[in-house]
Copies of this chain bind each other. A is one copy, B any other.
């Protein structure tokens, strides 16, 4: 299988490099890191074993990339509207499977609206990784990816993708798209925003009695919304599990907190606005997460460099 990786950051570079290191034909789109990677290759410092790609296939422009079977999109969603139309148009001519490894809810619907014929899958990465410097990813822990079929008509290719990832040492499994997105939101919606709103990390939010209860209440809002939208197998015991597993984690800054710390735009649109609007349309209100969204809009506006 031939893979294209659009968005060679902490997530895209990791999964792409794992696939390439296992012998797949992987083609990376690079922007600011292009010259560095051309000279030095791509380094993955990983808890599962570090490795180096000395001469990966890298490109300045998607126009130069070959036709691929799978296009992995791992951009920040804040870039989708501005960049995807130009980045994907050529790559989609060969009707690849497009795996969107992006945060939040509503991404697939919006990308589908841009490209009605595209075959989309949603990738939910459970991974702690960061781009530590140009051409270098620090993969701290976890690394599995759940994949939901959104609009992929080629079921053989969908299965090949999951098999290919597993063969490359990435634990990948098919999941129900909607259920997976909402389950992930149970953790993502409270912790991404609250670590920014209170400029802190996961452990301190849970150490304070008031914010621990608030996080729990926000999780119940997500669970209630998901239930209102027909997601099954999700009740308040899942919130207890999420709190428990977060207490076991080392202090953690979610992706939105890193975006905030580095004065990048935050993914408010898909992590908050879309799911809150979807729930409201189904008659379910999420007042505390709507308040968090408003606070984040204020913080985002004042965080521009």
Contacts and interface: CB of A to CB of B under 8 A. Distances in A.
Contacts of A210: 293-295, 297-298
Given A198-B299, A301-B208, A214 B287 contact: no
B197 A294 contact: no
B288 A291 contact: yes
A301 B197 CA distance: 15
Contacts of A297: 208-211
A287 B218 CA distance: 10
Contacts of A298: 198, 200, 204-205, 208, 210-211
Interface residues of A, number: 25
A301 B198 CA distance: 12
A302 B201 CA distance: 13
A208 B300 CA distance: 11
A213 interface: yes
A295 B197 contact: yes
Interface in A116-132: none
Given A208-B301, A301-B208, A198 B295 contact: yes
A242 to B, nearest CB: 18
Contacts of A295: 197-198, 210-211, 214
A297 B194 CA distance: 14
A210 to B, nearest CB: 4
Contacts of A299: 198
A213 to B, nearest CB: 7
A297 B200 CA distance: 14
A290 B217 CA distance: 11
A70 to B, nearest CB: 38
- With most chain B CB atoms within 10 A of its CB, the pick from A200, A209, A288, A291 is A291
A153 to B, nearest CB: 39
Interface in A164-220: 197-198, 200, 204-205, 208-211, 213-214, 217
A200 B292 CA distance: 16
Interface in A258-305: 287-288, 290-295, 297-299, 301-302
A205 B291 CA distance: 13
Interface in A54-106: none
Nearest to A268: B210
A205 B301 CA distance: 12
A298 B302 CA distance: 22
The 4 closest A-B pairs by CB, nearest first: A210-B297, A214-B294, A287-B287, A210-B294
Interface of A: 197-198, 200, 204-205, 208-211, 213-214, 217, 287-288, 290-295, 297-299, 301-302
6 contacts: A198-B295, A204-B298, A208-B301, A213-B294, A214-B291, A288-B291
